Homo-oligomer: A and B are copies of this chain.
Amino acid sequence: MTTTRLTDALRIGRGKVDLSAYDSRSTPGFGGTKRDQPKALESLAGPLSDNQERLYAGAVAGTSDRRVLVVLQGMDTSGKGGTVRNAVGLLDPQGVTVTSFKAPTADELAHDFLWRVERALPQAGEVGIFDRSHYEDVLIGRVRELADPAEIERRYDAINAFEQSLVDSGCTIIKCFLHISPDDQLERLRARLDDPTKHWKYNAADVDERLLWPRYQEAYETVLELCATDAAPWYVVPSGRKWYRNWAVAQLLAEHLGDVAPEWPKADFDVEVERQRLDATADVGH
């Protein structure tokens, strides 16, 4: 469905970022409408599965230490959970770890902010998903003044150094900002109130956070300006249309897995010898 790589279409450039200039309901790189999405998503399943298995096989065989980390960030209702279900859900769960970062525990607060993140990193062969991440420490951390300004400033550099080191050691990082407008959020919060099966997702504090929308957008803009590096770029994923968001993250995953998946490991045994050994066991259990 795409002619150019979505990786190129959604990657944010260097310089000043003005999120209000991004249309949350746009569908860059998708050559069709909502009706065409299921087929497009389905056509990604094969390549995703094949490349994920190569990644995994390389780790099992000890011939590759590549791994992939997907960072999902976005305002409440932007659909981090829905993206995990619908895009990440295309992968084999055996090679996937999903970590949802909540408010830090006392144990976590007693360490540097990156400590809990390091412990949740994917192993060789795995795809790790962060539903929220170390970026919370410069988002809610900044907006709610959970640390002093000098510490917040220090963190941007610490994050860039941390991510550079991850990339240098074989980890591909796909950072997705799920971009919605304040009206998208209003509509979705209303939908949660209207549907009793969604009440559990609603929290009265969501409205308080919403009132801080301009400050959150500014905090996101700062992140996108300071932490979109060559090693670990940010992708702005228009997320006003859920079907597009799900496809876009799956497509980003497919492109990156396609880039890093190694060749199938070569046999470290003599195939003909093993065939004969196996043939000799034909009667086992009879």
A residues apposed to B, CB below 8 Å: 49, 57, 60-61, 81, 84-85, 88-89, 91-94, 96, 98, 100, 129, 131, 181-182, 186, 189-190, 193, 196-197, 199-202, 204, 207, 210-211, 213-214, 217, 264-267, 269, 271, 274-275, 277-278, 281-282, 284-286
Contacts and interface: CB of A to CB of B under 8 A. Distances in A.
B57 A190 contact: no
B193 A274 contact: yes
Contacts of A201: 57
Contacts of A181: 285
Contact of A274 (B61, B204, B271, B281): B204
Can you tell how many copies of this chain the complex includes? Answer: 2
Closest 7 CB pairs of A and B: A182-B285, A199-B267, A57-B200, A213-B285, A85-B92, A200-B265, A84-B94
A182 B278 CA distance: 12
A249 B123 CA distance: 27
Contact of A93 (B91, B200, B213, B282): B91
B61 A210 contact: no
A269 to B, nearest CB: 5
A16 to B, nearest CB: 19
A85 B81 contact: no
Nearest to A81: B94
Contact of A204 (B193, B265, B269, B281): B269
B98 A89 contact: no
Given A93-B84, A214-B285, A264 B197 contact: yes
Contacts of A57: 200-201
Contact of A202 (B96, B186, B269): B269
A264 B267 CA distance: 51
Nearest to A129: B93
Most buried by B among A200, A264, A271: A200
Given A182-B284, A186-B282, A88 B84 contact: no
Given A186-B281, A213-B285, A264-B196, A274 B207 contact: yes
Contacts of A93: 84-85, 88-89, 91, 93, 96, 98, 129
